[in-house]
Structure 1
Amino acid sequence: MGANNVFFLELIEWFDDSGQEIARRFPQEGSGEIKYGAQMVVRESQAGIFFYNGKAVHVFGPGRHTLKTANIPILNKIMGIPWGLESPLRAEAYMINTKVFPNLKWGTREPVAFKDSELGLIRLRAYGMFNIQVVQPLLFINSLVGTMASFSVADLSEYLGKVIVSRFNDFLGENMDTILNLPSRYEGWSDGLRQRLQDDFRHFGLSLNQLYINAITPPPEVQKAMDDKTKLGMFEDMNKLMQLKAASAMEKAAANPGAAGDSMGMGVGFMMPALMAQAMQLAGQASQAPQASQAPGLQCPECRQPIRQDDRFCPSCGHQLVVFEQCRGCGKNLAPGTRFCPRCGQQAGSARETVKCPSCGQENLASSTFCNHCGERMA
């Protein structure tokens, strides 16, 4: 090994100013000549690992440690070799950050198809955050860091995010019924997904402390279709929905004249045919209303809709109506049981013959087969 790669280490300590570095090797290039009696300072949020000839010799916890035979038994053999004034040890050390690394992101890159019990096949996106912590420093070094000079959260979060997405897809496919119930299940699903992922993280000496599902959403075009369907359910027909959109466009134009007003004008122009059709329909209904009111006292006995005096069948339900006789004096229709004409005052008894119903005793026309009052057969 060249002289440029030889380092004499007497004090090993590490301050992570960025807060994003998980592991740091000392020295960062090659091996170092760590003197007998060198000091290693490990803080509460750290762990120190000592390597000799490529093998881990000892893992140090928090505190100040002196590298000598009392700490590292392998130094017993090295001390037996005459080194002159110094006894160097060619080795390297790793410092591991064991604090919790929060606010790491995970999320689906592309929508994933799921079967919804209400909406059928639907594509969903999901995203959230998670926290990790190194709980087995030596396993972490051997499985992920290797011989790298440093290892940061950025080197790890993307891979772990993909692992979470993979497990999330399986978990959601097993537990989802419909997206309409999703908001109430985020907390329970987050905990279940975290427990399922623990084994994946333990393989690397990591602990998944918390995992959160922030949102599970369909793509924008699906959201728009759902919103339109919800709006349609709030109105009786499409015309009212068009009126609401027109009113909304007018409010925006009033608040922001100019470009917004131009766009509002175009939008109202597209909606004018539907609005005109609705206005014509309302006008037709209004023109028919006086005709029904020409005979306010006559109603169909079946559906109670207004009828005209000369109607023999109800125009609304088709029910057969009572046949009226006419007054011989003025020609007005007279209902059964009328004794005098309400228009000319002529006695109506001579205008028709009546018989009484054997069941209810009410008068009916002599030609009646069924009673006009109780419906029983006359004879």
Structure 2
Amino acid sequence: MALWNSVTGQLRSVIEWKNPAPGVLFERWTDNGDEIKNASKLIVGPGQGVIFVYEGKPQAAITEPGMTDLKTANIPFWTTITKFMQAFQSEHKVGIYFFRTAEILNQGWGTPGPIKYLDPQYKFPVGMRGYGNFSFRITDAGSFFVNIMGQRDELTIDELRTAIVARLVQPLTDFLAEAKFGYNEIDANRNEIADGVKEKVAPIFATLGFGLTDFRVENTDFDDDTKRRVGRVADMQAEAQAAQAVGVDFAKLQQLAALRDAAQNEGGAAGAGVGLGAGVGLGQAMAGMMSGMNTPQPATEDPVAKLSQLKQMLDNQLISQEEYDAKKQQILSQL
């Protein structure tokens, strides 16, 4: 019975990759062990390819659908007879590895943590996260087999996707450093970022036997530290513009705000003393500021903007109602 099973096994002559699992990218054919007989037929279906390994060395890569005759030193029946004392095992070993030639679409990627680079506008480091998707395909099956498959019998799409994502962080960091896109420019330049990263990784992946056919940046986000620092800068810029619009020096405005906060902090005797001193300073600063505000401003300034900024100062308790009314009347009298 063992002899007959070996003989019938050697007569098996049609090899094909039937119904591969959806997540498998590269897989060794094992239906008849590793003894493939002379003149066996290899059927390659649409979207498939085959690496033919003979006596430990890749011999050919077949990427076109169709039927191929396999030529080996194994001759049916004669091998069985000569190898009888070796339990019908032949030294002419072959391996047939099927793989997908079709494009693998819509694989998600994301940076595992914030990517740090120096923002050209704010002049401090920011941390950005990126998310998107990519597509890829095997372009050089021989290189892919040698560099990635190795001694594996199977490689899944998810395993390769994980390896690709791990190799995206450094090229993305390098591109952002070179492109010098500021915090407020990232979203408007997603396509440029995607094209730049794809160009950078192309030679790296080509040496491994595959390539990205598409790469997209779908969304970006910044870490909390970056958002907080940018928010503080934006607030200060808004205050500076508001002060300028009503003819107040920004430094004096900051001093006035600090004095106001100190005056409101009345805790115990020491606090009362600080509050008293701050109150005096507050009055002096207020007098100096209002003196500056009473200086006639160039007629070219927008009175509507000045009134708006003046109202904002009133709402923030930087000036009193009486001072607001006086300055408002002065602005209106210039119309």
TM-score in terms of structure 1 length: 0.54
Aligned with residue 281 of structure 1, among 307, 314, 320: 320
Shift in alpha-carbon separation, 1:102–1:227, aligned structure 2, 3 A: farther
Which residue of 2 is the match for residue 115 of structure 1?
118
CA distance in 2, matches of 1:195, 1:28: 41
Which residue of 2 is the match for residue 83 of structure 1?
79
CA distance in 1, matches of 2:96, 2:228: 57
CA distance in 2, matches of 1:15, 1:143: 26
Shift in alpha-carbon separation, 1:67–1:85, aligned structure 2, 3 A: farther
Shift in alpha-carbon separation, 1:281–1:16, aligned structure 2, 3 A: farther
What root-mean-square deviation, in Å, do the aligned CA atoms of Structure 1 and Structure 2 show? 4.1
1:32 aligned partner, one-letter code: D
- List runs of 5+ in structure 1 lacking aligned partners: 239-273, 306-379
Q: Is the 8 A contact 1:106 1:165 kept in 2?
A: no
Which residue of 1 is the match for residue 150 of structure 2?
146
**1:50-107 deviation digits (Å, cap 9, x = unpaired):** 2221112332233343534xxx3xx3x5459933699976322110111111222333
Aligned with residue 159 of structure 2, among 155, 178, 185: 155
CA distance in 1, matches of 2:60, 2:316: 86
**Of Structure 1 and Structure 2, which has the larger fraction of its residues in helix?**
2
Aligned positions of 1:210-289 closer than 5 A = 210-224=214-228, 226=230, 233=238, 278=317, 281-282=320-321, 284=322
Q: Secondary structure at the match of 2:163?
A: helix
CA distance in 2, matches of 1:33, 1:124: 54
Q: Is the 8 A contact 1:108 1:165 kept in 2?
A: yes
Which residue of 2 is the match for residue 20 of structure 1?
23
Which residue of 2 is the match for residue 335 of structure 1?
none
- List runs of 5+ in structure 2 lacking aligned partners: 84-89, 244-252, 254-312
Shift in alpha-carbon separation, 1:102–1:61, aligned structure 2, 3 A: closer
**1:30-56 deviation digits (Å, cap 9, x = unpaired):** x42223332221112111122221112
Shift in alpha-carbon separation, 1:39–1:117, aligned structure 2, 3 A: same
Q: Secondary structure at the match of 1:83?
A: helix
CA distance in 2, matches of 1:93, 1:27: 8
Shift in Å, 1:228: 6.8
Shift in Å, 1:151: 0.4
Of stretches 10-19 and 154-163 in structure 1, the one that deviates more from structure 2 is 10-19
CA distance in 1, matches of 2:76, 2:40: 18
TM-score in terms of structure 2 length: 0.61
CA distance in 2, matches of 1:153, 1:90: 28
Matched, 1:60 2:62: yes
**1:97-148 deviation digits (Å, cap 9, x = unpaired):** 1111122233322223221122221222222222110011121111111121
Aligned with residue 167 of structure 1, among 167, 171, 175: 171
Q: Is the 8 A contact 1:37 1:66 kept in 2?
A: no
Identity of aligned residues (%): 18
1:93 aligned partner, one-letter code: I
Matched, 1:103 2:109: no
CA distance in 2, matches of 1:158, 1:206: 14
Q: Is the 8 A contact 1:35 1:86 kept in 2?
A: no
2:178 aligned partner, one-letter code: E
Ranked by relative contact order (alpha carbons within 8 Å, sequence separation 6 or more), the top structure is 2
Shift in alpha-carbon separation, 1:15–1:230, aligned structure 2, 3 A: farther
Shift in alpha-carbon separation, 1:277–1:154, aligned structure 2, 3 A: closer
Q: Is the 8 A contact 2:38 2:76 kept in 1?
A: no
CA distance in 2, matches of 1:279, 1:172: 42
Q: Secondary structure at the match of 2:121?
A: coil
